[in-house]
Structure 1
Amino acid sequence: MQSAQQRRWRGLKLAVVTLFAVSLLAACGQSSASLPTFTPEPTITPLAPVPEGVPAPVVEIEPGAAAPRPTRERGSGEAGAKPATARTAIAQESVEGAAERPPAQGGADDDAYEPDDRRSQANPIRIGEVQERTFGYEYDEDWVEVAVQADQMYVFETFDLDDGADTILTLYDEQGNELAYNDDDDGWASRIYHQVEDDGLLYLQVTAYSIDAPGLGYKLRVLEMEPVAPDAYEPDNSQAEAQAITVGEEQQRTFHYPQDEDWVAVMVTTGTAYHFETFDLDDGADTVLTLYNERGDELAYNDDFGSAWASRIYYQAENDERLYLQVSAYRGGEPGLGYKLRVVEAEPPAPDAYEPDNSQAEAKALALNEVQERTFHTPQDEDWVFVEVTAGLTYQFETLDLADGIDTVLTLYDAQGEELDSNDDYQSLASRIYYEAANTERLYLQVAAYRVDQPGLGYRLQMVEAAPAELDAYEPDDRQEEASSIQIGEIQDRTFHNASDEDWVMVEVEAGRTYRFATLDLDDGLDTVLTLYDERGEELAYNDDAEDSDSFSLASRITHEARNSGRLYLQVKTFGSAERGAAYRLEAALDR
C-alpha cells in the first residue's frame, strides 16, 4: 500500500517536470527563489548588430518598479517554511494551442508582433535584439523563435516591465518539449539561462502571471554568454559518471551550466547512519539532493534543509553497498554558482516507545481522548495507529505541538486498506482529519512526514469526539450529477462542512457571451479553487487565486466566453484544508 508521503513526493516531482508544459497562463502560488543578479564576470556578446536606436544589451536587469507584493511559494519548499504544492491559474492547451481558451482579442493594445499567440506564429528574435512588447489582454501570449548554436550558453530575459506587469518565461525545443521555466528573477521580470546541445531553433513563450490592465509593456531579449569552465570533477553528469567521495571528505563544486548535475558514489556500511549535505552555497545557489542505490532506485530526497537553500539527507544504511548521490540546482540559476558537498556519519536517534509501528499490520492502539508523544526517528519513519469508531459519531484526528522543522501528513484507512481521508496542513504544518463514522468498526491512521529536517523530531497525536458539521442549504452537491443551479446575477452563501467537501453548481449560458464566476468574502484561512466543466465533464478553465485588485488573494475567479449555448458546471473546492464550516460566497455574472 502506497503511503500518503510517497504519493505526495512523487506527485510533487511530476508536477515540477510537467505542470507548466501545458500552461496557457500560469499563476503560481509558489515563490521562485530570487536568482542572483547578473555578475559582470560572464561575457555576454550579441552575435548580430543591435539595430540603430535600440539600447545595447546591458549586464544588469532593470525590472519594473512594481509595488511590493507577497513572495510566491516555491513548489518544492520555501527556505525555512513548508514546501508548498504548486498553485496555478491555467487554461490548459497543447504547445500548438488547440484547446478551449479565450480567443485572441486584436485591438488597440496589440503590439507590432501580433499575432504571435502560438508557437506556430512565433516571430524571430536575433541574438542581442531588444523587442518592446505588450500584453494586449489577460490571456495574451507572446512567442518568439531564435536560432541557436551547439555548446553555447544563452540568456533569455524580460526587463523594463511596466508597473503592474509580471512575466513568466517558458523555453521549448522544436518538438515542443519544455526545456526551462522562470517566473520571477529579482523582481517581476523573468530570466532563463540555457546551454544548447545542438544547432537549431528554440521557442520562447512569454505569458503574464498577472497584469493590472491591458496594454502593459515589457522588453524582451536573448543574449549569448561565454560558457563557464567546469569544476575539477567533471564529467559527472550521470550515475555512470559518478565521482568517488569518501565519508568525511569535503568537495568544492560548481554548477557550470543550468542543467548541470553532479553525481558522487560513496561506500556505506550496514547499520551506520549518514548525513549527505551541501553547505557554504554561493549567493543565489539552491541545491537539491537525491540518493539512489546501485539499481537506480530512489532512497531519499531533500530540497531545502532548515532555513537555507542548502540540502541534507539523513540515511541509515541497510546493507554494505555503494550509494549514488545526485546534486542538482533548483530551477537552474546563474552558471558558475558554487557549493560544498560532504558525507559524514550521523548519530541515529532512539525510536519512540511505540515502535515498531511502520505499517498497518504493526499499528498500535490509540484510544479516544488519549494523547501520544511520538517522534520520527528517521525521515522515512511512518507511525500507524488503530482506532475504534462508533456509527453516527464524528471524530477529530490531529497532530499538534510539532517540533520546529517537522510537517506531518495524516491518512485514514479502513480495515481493507482503502483510503478514507487525508490531510497535510490544517492552518499550520500540523494535520487534522474530521471523520463522520458510518459504521462501528476499526480504522487505521497513518502519520507520515511531508518534511523532517532531522531525525528524532517529535509531535503529539490525539483522537477526540467532535460535533457534527452543519450543512449549508445546497447539500448534497459533492458531484457533478448533484450540482445545484445558480442563476446569472445570483450570489449564493455557502460553506465547506468538512475538509474534503466540494460544491458543484450548474449554470445556463448563451453562445458568444462572456461570464464571470467568482468566490467572494472568504472566511479567514479559507482558500478556494474553481474549475469549470462542460456537460461531458471536460475541463474548460481553472483558477486558484485571482482577484481584480490582488493577484495573491485566496479567492478565485474564472472569466469564460461561451462557445455554445447550454449548461456548464462549476466545481468549488479548497486548496489545502479549511476549518469546518468555513464560509464563502459564490457569484455567477455576465462579465461584459
Structure 2
Amino acid sequence: MPRSLSTALITGLFALAALPAAAQDDSLCGGIGAAGQWLGGEEGASDLATAPDYLEQMALVLMQNEYVGLFTVSEAGAYRIEAQGRGGGDTVLDLRNAAGELVASDDDSGGDAASRIETDLAAGTYCAALRSFDGTPLTGFLRAGRSEHEALTPGFEMGTPDDTGGCDMANAQALALGEPAQNPWRDQRYYRLSLDAPTSVTFTAENESADPILTLYDSNGGWLAENDDFDGLNSRIDMVEPLAAGDYCIAISTYGDETAAITVTAKAYDPLEVQRNLYDRGEASPPLDGAYPVTDLGELQTRQREDLTATGTAAWYAFEVTQPGLVLVEAIAQGYGDPLLTMYDDLGRQVGYNDDSMNSLDSQLTVRVQAGTYLVAVKQVDSAASGPIRLLFERYVPAQP
C-alpha cells in the first residue's frame, strides 16, 4: 500500500507541486499550450498580424517550469518574439507551431542574457515557451509583435571581421546538403548554401568548446534566423517553412575557443528526427507504442528503486498511478554526476522538472498526481558525461480522516 501523509504536510506539498490550470486544447503545440496564456488576454485579441502594437505579458517561472504565451498569426510575415528577465535572469525562448514542431529557439540573442527570435511565420497558432537557463526562479517579460513594433531587447549584433555586420558571401565556403564542413572559427566564419528548389532545411554548428552562434542570411544580406545554445552550447536553426530556391549565407560567431573546429551542417529538415531529438533531450514525452525505448515500471507501489548508467541522452521510465496522491522521484549520483529529472503526464504536459536539489547536484521531484500514466526522463546535465545514477520512486496518498 502507498504511504500516508498528514493532512498539513500533504496540503503543503500539494501547494508546492501545483501548476497553472490547463486552459487550452490538450494537444496544442504538442501539449505545452494546454496551460498557456493568450498574450492578448484572449485568442481573438492575440493575432500579431492585426494587433495595433506588440503584445506582452509578465512571466513568472517557478520550480524549473516554463511560462507559455500563445498567439496567432493570420497573415504570413516577419515577426519578433522576445523574453527578458529581471534582476539578471538568463532566459531561454522556444517557439513551437500548433503541431508542436520547434520553429526557432534562442538563448542570448537579445543581448544581456535576454532572448530574441526574429523570423518569418506562416499563418497559424504558436506557443512561445520561456524558461530559465540555469533552472532558477525567474521573473521577466514575454513580448511578441511585428518587426515594426518597438523591441523589448537591445539585440545582439553578429560581426564580420571588420565589424560591419551581415554576412560575407564572397569569402563563404560552399556547403552541400547533408555534407558537414569542419573548420576553426578563426579560419572560416562564413558558409554558402545554394538551393535548386524550395527546401525545408536544418542548420547546425557544433563544438561545445567553441560555443558557436549560428545566423542565417539570404543572398542580399537580409537576416532570417539566429540561434545560440540549442543543444548544450551547440546551435541549431530549423527552417520548417521551405526556403525558396537561391543562395543563403551562414555566419558563425563564437563565445568560446576560437581555435576549436566547429562542424557546420545544412541538411533537409526531418520532422521525425526533430521529434526524436526532443525525446533524447527530455524536452517532450515519447509515445508508449514501442517506437521509442521506455522502461515500463507498471503500477507504482510504496517504494521502487532503479539503477542505471545515465548519459546526456535521456532514459525514460513509465509508471501507473491508480488514485490521486503525491509521487516523489529522486535521482542520486553514485559518485560523480549531475542528474536532471523531467516528468510528464500521459497527455505530454510537463508536470515536474528539477536539477540540483537540497544543495547538491542530485535531483528531486515532488508532484501531485491523479490516476493515470506518467513518464520520467533522467539524464546528465553535461551532454558528454556518463555515470551511475540511482532512481527512487515513492508514492503517497492523503491521510484518511
**TM-score when normalising by structure 1:** 0.33
Higher relative contact order (CA 8 A, sep 6+): 2
Answer with 1 or 2: which has the greater Rg: 1
Greater strand share, structure number: 2
